[in-house]
């Protein structure tokens, strides 16, 4: 079995055990444990724990530094999932972004407030920096995806807490 897969399983086990939905790692400790180069850990993270895989990574350098991995639960059927994975591709023209945002609001997939926030973030004024249009398109796609992922997470939390509330009610 490939080392990367072993490390991947190891991290996923840690995530499974942890009470919250995240774990904290020391890159060097992990590399030591698996007898590999520290950068191998980065490789595993960048190929198997990306936002598209449903993970978010935070890290700190320097003394006491560490890597934090958070698992974002997403439902297969969710329309937002489809958007994040398929509809919003690697690049997005300004017109398309505006259109898509409007459609999302009108279809009730996201709220009007969220739609306005997205529009603000993707507005031509906000992105008025001297870079080629191709780069801007990539940027639009990435920002939109990131924001939609955040909304999906929020919905998940709402669902979860609603479910928890329901369970509490049933238990009384």
CA gap 80, 74 in Å, rounded = 9
Would you state the structure tokens that stand for residue 30, as one six-digit string?
A: 């992990």
Burial category of 44 from C-beta neighbours within 10 Å (exposed 0-12, middle 13-18, buried 19 and up) = buried
88 binds, among a second copy, DNA, none (CB under 5 to 8 A by kind): none
CA 90 from chain center: how many Å? 15
15 binds, among a second copy, DNA, none (CB under 5 to 8 A by kind): none
Among 36, 70, 72, 139, binds a second copy (CB under 8 A): 139
- CA angle, residues 12, 13, 17, in degrees to nearest 5: 115
Site for a second copy in 7-46 (CB under 8 A): none
Measured from the CB atom, the residue of 61 and 171 that comes closer to a second copy is 61
Name the site residues for a second copy (rule: CB under 8 A): 1-2, 5, 51, 63-64, 113-114, 116-117, 119-121, 123, 125-131, 135, 138-139, 142-143, 145-147, 149-151, 153-154
């Amino acid at each position: 079995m490939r080392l990367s897969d072993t490390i991947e399983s190891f991290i996923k086990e840690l995530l499974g055990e942890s009470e919250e939905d995240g774990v904290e790692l020391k890159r060097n400790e992990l590399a030591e444990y698996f007898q590999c180069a520290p950068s191998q850990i980065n490789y595993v993270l960048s190929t198997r724990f990306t936002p598209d895989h449903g993970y978010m990574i935070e890290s700190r350098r320097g003394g006491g530094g560490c890597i934090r991995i958070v698992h974002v639960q997403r439902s297969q059927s969710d329309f937002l999932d489809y958007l994040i994975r398929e509809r919003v591709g690697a690049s997005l023209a300004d017109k398309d972004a505006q259109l898509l945002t409007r459609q999302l609001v009108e279809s009730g997939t996201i709220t009007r407030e969220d739609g306005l926030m997205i529009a603000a973030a993707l507005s031509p004024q906000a992105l008025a920096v001297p870079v080629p249009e191709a780069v801007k398109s990539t940027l639009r796609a990435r920002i939109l995806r990131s924001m939609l992922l955040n909304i999906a997470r929020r919905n998940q939390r709402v669902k979860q807490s609603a479910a928890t509330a329901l369970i509490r009610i049933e238990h009384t």
